[in-house]
Amino acid sequence: MKKGKLIVLEGLDGAGTTTQANLLSEFFKKMSVNHVVTAEPTKGKIGKLIKTILRNSEFKGTVLDDILILLFTADRIEHTKNFLEPSLDESKIVISDRYYLSTYAYQGFKKTDEIVQLISVKFPVPAITFFIDVKVKTLLKRLAVREKREIFEYENMMKKIKLNYEEAISKLIFRGEEIIKIDGEKEPIEIRDEIIYNLKKLKIISC
């Protein structure tokens, strides 16, 4: 029996998932909550390969979706076996910066519905997923200062990914998952506090 809880942070690029993972971790440290922070794609070999592909415009194309789904799934299998399951077994709170909801959103939920359904069932279901919701216009401003941009970080692509997120979230909620949308236009601390409020309300943390 796994006693830990998986908390997932999701959002479009630049929405602030890494910022929130760090803020949440600082809070947990202060409160002595036994937790670990992780992310997908992971820092493992497959995760690194994914990041290389995402940063290389040469790979922009239609076949990419299917290849990426398989790579992300391989990375997630490794992540689950090597990190998520052992941490949950040790009763830890696990904060994951992205998880399978990102695959639904970024690799086109509709087109690959069946594949994604097949690959998602094997993975631990999060206790809660927070979708940090930020307007595409705001995200483009935040990302404009970045040197290396990923193939997803362009306006039309982002709008499509946002719609995919909305659709995937509805479907996952219908399947019984706990997913909460948070207004990501607010100040980072306000967002963090809203996340903590929900974690307490749902008894995921008790501090």
Ligand X SMILES: Nc1ncnc2c1ncn2[C@@H]1O[C@H](COP(=O)(O)OP(=O)(O)OP(=O)(O)O)[C@@H](O)[C@H]1O
End-to-end, the C-alpha distance of the chain in Å comes to 23
Q: Does 18 bind Mg ion (CB under 5 A)?
A: yes
As a whole number of angstroms, the distance between CA 42 and CA 88 comes to 17
Structure tokens given for 185: 């236009």
CB 204 within 8 A of CB 128: yes
107 binds, among ligand X, Mg ion, none (CB under 5 to 8 A by kind): none
Which region among 43-51, 103-111, 183-191, 193-201 touches ligand X (by CB under 6 A)? Answer: 183-191
Q: What is the DSSP string of 115-169?
A: HHHHHHTTSPPPSEEEEEE--HHHHHHHHTT-SS--TT-SHHHHHHHHHHHHHHH
Q: Which residues of 4-41 are buried (b: 16+ CB within 10 A; e: fewer)?
A: bbbbbbbbbbbbbbebbbbbbbebbeeeebebbbbbbb
Q: Does 4 bind ligand X (CB under 6 A)?
A: no
- CB of 18 or CB of 25, closer to Mg ion: 18
Nearest-approach distance from CB 97 to Mg ion, in angstroms: 6
Residue nearest to ligand X (CB): 16
Nearest-approach distance from CB 14 to ligand X, in angstroms: 4
Which region among 14-22, 51-59, 104-112, 165-173 touches ligand X (by CB under 6 A)? Answer: 14-22
Q: Does 22 bind Mg ion (CB under 5 A)?
A: no
Q: Does 138 bind Mg ion (CB under 5 A)?
A: no
Q: Give burial (CB, 10 Å; 0-12/13-18/19+) of 109.
A: buried
Nearest-approach distance from CB 16 to Mg ion, in angstroms: 8
As a whole number of angstroms, the distance between CA 166 and CA 49 comes to 28
Nearest-approach distance from CB 191 to ligand X, in angstroms: 6
Q: Does 13 bind ligand X (CB under 6 A)?
A: yes
Which region among 16-24, 28-36, 76-84, 146-154 touches Mg ion (by CB under 5 A)? Answer: 16-24
* Number of neighbours of residue 105 by Cβ within 10 angstroms: 25
Nearest-approach distance from CB 23 to ligand X, in angstroms: 9
- Judged by the rule CB under 6 A, the positions of this chain that interact with ligand X are 11, 13-19, 142, 184, 186-188, 191
- Judged by the rule CB under 5 A, the positions of this chain that interact with Mg ion are 18
